[in-house]
Structure 1
């Protein structure tokens, strides 16, 4: 299991060793200053994607950033420990997966209220994958120029190296799960 206090200390030390102010690393990593500060204080455990951005900002691989921080090979993430994110427009995400060193995988449960468009997400790096399973309601999934209408129990896979979007055009809430393996290009130099 990844100890958030140890992770925070590691990030703070790496940032200080590089002479980076909190604002400079936040800008370089594309992460808010408040999020980075909360992570350094051990108050928040970042998602894999956020942690990968921070590693990029420090010029490190994710596995190098997390080296020696793992204290247990089995990670139980209780419901109360999961990250719950209320998004603009009224939709809600729950990040179900813990951060695992060297693994760019996330499993997210999303609820879209009636007539909610979650927007378009940019293409990820080549080699990225998304698997979507609809639990309830009807999901309109856009992948590139195509749209797929999925009902409860339906699932789909697509390479996530194309822009993709999620919308609920119905009168009932839509609940779906996304399992994503996200590759991120590393900065050079």
Structure 2
């Protein structure tokens, strides 16, 4: 696993070597200043996507950023360590997977409240994949120009190299899981490209 303090020291050294302030790196990486600061202090273990964006901001590969930081082949992420992202309107995401150096994979559990449209999200690089499984409710999943309606228990795979969208038009919350294999980070993880979330 990655020692958060060792990762924080490495990130601080790499940023300082390049003469970058926290705000400058935050701007190029698309990561908040508070998140970067918490990572450098060893208080937060970032997701693979966040690490990939930081590496891009430092003009490094992810493997180069994490070189010599991995101490164990087995990585446990306790429930208390999972990253929770609360969006306006009650849209909530939990990143379930540990951060694994060199493996751009995430498993995310999302809850969309009734009548919540999360917007259209940008594509990953070619070679990226997403698998979606609906736990409860009804999910309207757009891939390119086509919309798919998924009920509880339904699953769907799509190449994640084109814009896609998630919406719940029903009267009850929709809970679904996304397993994503990411070739590189998209510009703004969690930020719609064509419209803002409407919840």
Q: What TM-score do the two structures reach when normalised by structure 2?
A: 0.90
Match of 1:134 in 2: 134
Match of 2:34 in 1: 34
How many residue pairs get aligned? The number is 186
Match of 1:60 in 2: 60
Q: What does 1:91-130 correspond to in 2, within 5 Å? A: 91-130=91-130
Q: Tell me the CA shift for residue 5 of structure 1.
A: 1.0
Matched, 1:17 2:29: no
Extract unaligned runs of 5+ from structure 1: none
Give the Cα–Cα distance (whole angstroms) in 2 for the partners of residues 89 and 6 of structure 1.
36
Q: What does 1:70-89 correspond to in 2, within 5 Å? A: 70-89=70-89
Extract unaligned runs of 5+ from structure 2: 187-199
Detail structure 1 runs of 4+ shifted over 2 Å in the superposition.
Answer: none
Q: C-alpha root-mean-square deviation of aligned residues, in Å? A: 1.3
Deviations 1:154-187 (A, max 9, x none): 100001111100011111111100000112279x
Give the Cα–Cα distance (whole angstroms) in 1 for the partners of residues 72 and 85 of structure 2.
27
Give the Cα–Cα distance (whole angstroms) in 1 for the partners of residues 185 and 49 of structure 2.
12
Q: What TM-score do the two structures reach when normalised by structure 1?
A: 0.95
Q: Tell me the CA shift for residue 72 of structure 1.
A: 1.2
Kept in 1, the 8 Å contact 2:49–2:185? The answer is no
